[in-house]
Amino acid sequence: MRVTRAATICAFVIALCLSARARADVTRYAVVIGYNDGHKDEQTLRYAEDDARRLAEVLIDLGGFAAEHVTVLRGPTADAVQARLIDLNDRIRTRGEPALLVVFFSGHADALALHLGDGSLPLERLEQLVRGSAASFRLLIVDACRSGALTRVKGGSAVPAPTLRLAERLPADGVVVWTSSSANEDAQESDELGGSFFTHYLISGLLGAADSNGDGAVTLDEAYPYAYEATVRATSRTLAGVQHATFRHDTHGLSDVTLTWMTARSRGLLVFPAGHDYLVMQGGPTGAVVADVGARDAERQVSLRAGRYFVRARAADHLLEGTAVVRESERTAIDERALDRVEYARLVRKGGGERRRSDRLELGYTIRSALWSDASACQGATLGWAMDLPALSLGARGIACRGGARNAFVDATHDQLGGELRAVRAWDVGGVTLSGGALVGASLLIQRFSGTAPARLSAAGVAGLTAAATYDVAPRAYVTAELDGVTTFFRQDEMSGAGLRAAFALRGNVLVGTRW
């Protein structure tokens, strides 16, 4: 029995070393499991089942896995998972050929079991099923933990994260275990990526981003470090905190097992310039994220199915966006000069990405029509701050202006000092941003007369509507032309005459501003 086992392993090693023949000489099998639902007290996940589907597609397209040897179980029962693994183990043992087995799970779990809806699959049982496989090389990947909010933490119950002990009891001949987080951490999902952080970066790595030596193949020792580092980098910006993947390799020299090749005929290569992080979406900006290339990645190309993709590069203060068409067996290079520049304020309004707010500071000239029939226009300056949110832009602004009046009897100056709060909705139309909304505020009206007549003061309330057009003149700078229709309410007896007066006026503002 030992001789037979050794001979099988030897054949497996030889086949793997000959990468050009490996896909034909080693039969590759995979059981890929995704389950969005956990136990009743656990939050439903959004992306676990999609994670499984996407990984299966990559294994079939680039990993040398025949479609009939890849089983995708979405929302299965524990019995269905066990039955499939038992059946596959029997099949591998009966055929007696060098085999590679990948088992992947994305969903809820705790320290004792995978949570499959109302049922559970004990980790000990999963260990036994993997340990019992006759495959010479086995890769087990578990992406599971607890529950959370916007960047969701995966899993359900408040117990320690899964601790896999496969290496303690399995024969030490080609066993690799990867988990998406350490024992005291949570595995997280991302709405921007449309999947689990770890699985997303693992898939991106297998598509080519992890090919650190540029030989057109992604090996075991390239895929894991890439997924680990990218997950740490991305989760360092989340509320749940940094997530560290874990691994255990007992491979006895099989560290260069090739997981994917970049040479599939039905696919092409998309090549990215250096310097920026890139996301690749299927079809358009709202499509599923299919790949990710980091600014620090040595390899700047990924293998994708032929079709149209939307690419987004992230710079310090803006995005670069555009489309790319990938053709079969061709290399398509991204030209950043052909991409559209999108300031983060526009991204916030679109509700895209992780950024939820952009701030602005602006200064300008203001002129308001007269509040009295014999007065001149009030001219002055305005200074304001605003923040752009996905639904509205909210801001505060200070205004100071001076007008006057002259007749046969007296010369007077009219000053207005005030502050306003504004709420507007913005729409991006080509290179111009149009906005409209409402404003409210309070002012102090001051009349001063020539000679010995005393000054008059009145507190006033202000309410109105505003409309504006904004044009970006530089990456962080813009100019705005604004028209306000405002009504000022004040006690006339403190200014002239008697009673409460409501005076309507038009006000024009020309502003320059900066955003960050």
Q: Where are the domains of the chain?
A: 2-190+251-259, 358-515
3-state SS assignment for residue 198:
helix
**Which class for 168: exposed (0-12), middle (13-18), buried (19 or more C-beta within 10 A)?**
exposed
Q: Which position has the token pair 């080509």? A: 430
Instruction: Report angle CA 438, 443, 449 to the nearest 5 degrees.
Output: 140
Q: What is the pLDDT of residue 350?
A: 61
Among the CATH numbers 3.20.20.220, 3.40.50.2300, 2.60.120.260, 2.40.160.20, which is that of 358-515?
2.40.160.20
Distance CA 470, CA 349 (A): 14
Do residues 132 and 138 touch, judged by C-beta distance below 8 A? Answer: no
- How far, CA to CA in Å, does 329 sit from each of 186, 323, 486? 40, 19, 63
Q: What is the pLDDT of residue 248?
A: 63
Describe the crossing of helices 78-95 and 123-131 by its angle, rounded to 10 degrees. 10
Q: What is the pLDDT of residue 347?
A: 61
Q: What is the pLDDT of residue 15?
A: 44
Q: What is the pLDDT of residue 7?
A: 45
Pairing assessment for the beta strands 267-271 and 331-333 based on DSSP bridges: parallel
Distance CA 393, CA 202 (A): 38
Q: Minimal CA–CA distance to 129: which of 80, 86, 76? A: 86
Q: Minimal CA–CA distance to 253: which of 23, 9, 27, 65? A: 9
Amino acid identity at 190 = S
Whether this model's pTM surpasses 0.95: no
Do residues 322 and 284 touch, judged by C-beta distance below 8 A? Answer: no
Question: What's phi and psi for 462, nearest 5 deg?
Answer: -130, 135
Q: What is the pLDDT of residue 352?
A: 52
Which stretch of DSSP H or E encloses residue 348? Answer: helix 344-350
Architecture of domain 2-190+251-259: 3-Layer(aba) Sandwich (3.40)
Please identify every stretch of the chain with a pLDDT value under 70, giving residue numbers as ranges: 1-24, 145-175, 181-186, 237, 239-240, 244-255, 316-317, 344, 346-348, 350-355, 408-409, 452, 492-499
